[in-house]
């Protein structure tokens, strides 16, 4: 079995273009649920929003970095874990927050703001943490990633569709309401299908290396949810808000990570396996946590 750092997963350019389009459509569907009022709402709950943003863009990458030092995985696996941690929230975080009886308004506002901020912060965050990693930095430097180029790619597949979706929701509310649910379901199913396709097309590699990453992904995902919850608790947010922040920090857009891995890292084995496994494990863990919380109403007096 080849070292995971030497493995390159294959995904043909035509399929990658379609995947980029699917991810853009997914972001458009998310944005149909977003209004300018969601950004204005940030001003009415600055502490909760500040905690959520800091937990996502500062605390989670730092916790992830420490976890890679503790586990000492292969450099490409460490890079994959750091990249996933730097991704914006996944598209099901709002649904899971609702199921968990958390603050959906806070979740929606955090998703909107975090996806907007990630256009700039994601490539800078990844370059910072990957560049200072004691083992992964050497591999990262051989890739010669240009953060500006990555930011431009993120603008195209996240920024533009997101702006278009918000504009549609604001200017054509009846149309947005009509296509909102079908668009989100269809785009999510397409994304899952493409992730399955990426896994199926490289099935031998996933079978060979999934054992190396499964424990790391499970621990990483649990720490992501815990990081959001503890940050919210440390800042004395209500149980209602803590649930929203925990899920928002725990759910990462691994589909975006997979797109970037094939686009900028030539399908680097450890990174791709981490993103692929995270994409499924994250949903399972998030649904389990939301279901557990859903059977336990927020503490009395802690619902806004």
Selection from 167-171, 268-272, 282-286 with the highest mean pLDDT = 282-286
For residues 224 and 137, the model is more confident at 224
pLDDT of res. 204:
64
52-65 pLDDT, tens per residue? Answer: 999 999 999 999 99
| Average per-residue pLDDT for the chain | 82
pLDDT of res. 290:
94
The mean per-residue pLDDT over the stretch 269-285 comes to: 85
pLDDT of res. 57:
95
pLDDT of res. 105:
81
For residues 188 and 58, the model is more confident at 58
Integer distance in angstroms from the first to the last C-alpha of the chain? 54
pTM over 0.85? The answer is no
86-142 pLDDT, tens per residue? Answer: 998 876 888 899 899 998 888 888 887 888 888 888 888 998 999 999 998 888 877
19-55 pLDDT, tens per residue? Answer: 777 778 777 877 777 777 766 766 778 899 999 999 9
Residue from 165, 176, 252 nearest 217 by CA: 252
Confirm if 247 and 93 have CB atoms less than 8 A apart.
yes
Evaluate if residue 304 carries a pLDDT over 50: no
Residue 135: exposed, middle, or buried by beta-carbon count in 10 A (0-12, 13-18, 19+)? middle
Where does the chain have alpha helices with state H? Answer: 13-31, 36-41, 46-54, 60-71, 75-86, 93-99, 104-131, 136-143, 147-154, 160-171, 173-201, 203-234, 239-250, 254-264, 269-294
Q: pLDDT grade, residue 66 (50/70/90)?
A: very high
């Amino acid at each position: 079995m080849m070292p995971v750092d030497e493995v390159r997963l294959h995904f043909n350019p035509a399929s990658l273009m379609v995947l980029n389009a699917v991810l853009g459509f997914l972001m458009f569907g998310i944005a149909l649920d977003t209004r300018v009022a969601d950004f204005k709402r940030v001003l009415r709950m600055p502490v909760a929003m500040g905690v959520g943003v800091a937990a996502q863009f500062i605390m989670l990458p730092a916790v992830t970095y420490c976890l890679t030092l503790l586990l000492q995985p292969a450099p490409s696996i460490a890079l994959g874990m750091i990249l996933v941690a730097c991704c914006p929230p996944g598209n099901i975080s709002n649904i899971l927050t609702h199921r968990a009886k958390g603050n959906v308004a806070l979740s929606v506002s955090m998703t909107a703001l975090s996806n907007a901020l990630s256009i700039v912060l994601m490539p800078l965050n990844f370059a910072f943490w990957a560049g200072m990693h004691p083992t992964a930095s050497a591999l990262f430097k051989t890739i010669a990633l240009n953060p500006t180029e990555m930011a431009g790619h993120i603008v195209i597949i996240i920024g533009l569709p997101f702006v278009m979706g918000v504009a549609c929701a604001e200017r054509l509310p009846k149309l947005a309401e009509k296509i909102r649910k079908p668009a989100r379901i269809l785009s999510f199913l397409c994304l899952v299908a493409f992730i399955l396709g990426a896994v199926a097309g490289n099935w031998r590699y996933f079978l060979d290396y999934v054992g190396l990453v499964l424990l790391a992904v499970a621990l990483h995902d649990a720490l992501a949810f815990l990081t959001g919850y503890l940050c919210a608790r440390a800042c004395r947010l209500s149980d209602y808000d803590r649930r929203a922040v925990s899920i928002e920090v725990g759910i990462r857009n691994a589909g975006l990570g997979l797109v970037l891995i094939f686009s900028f890292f030539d399908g680097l084995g450890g990174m791709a396996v981490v993103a692929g496994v995270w994409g499924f494990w994250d949903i399972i863990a998030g649904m389990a946590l939301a279901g557990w919380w859903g059977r336990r109403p927020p503490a009395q007096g802690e619902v806004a």
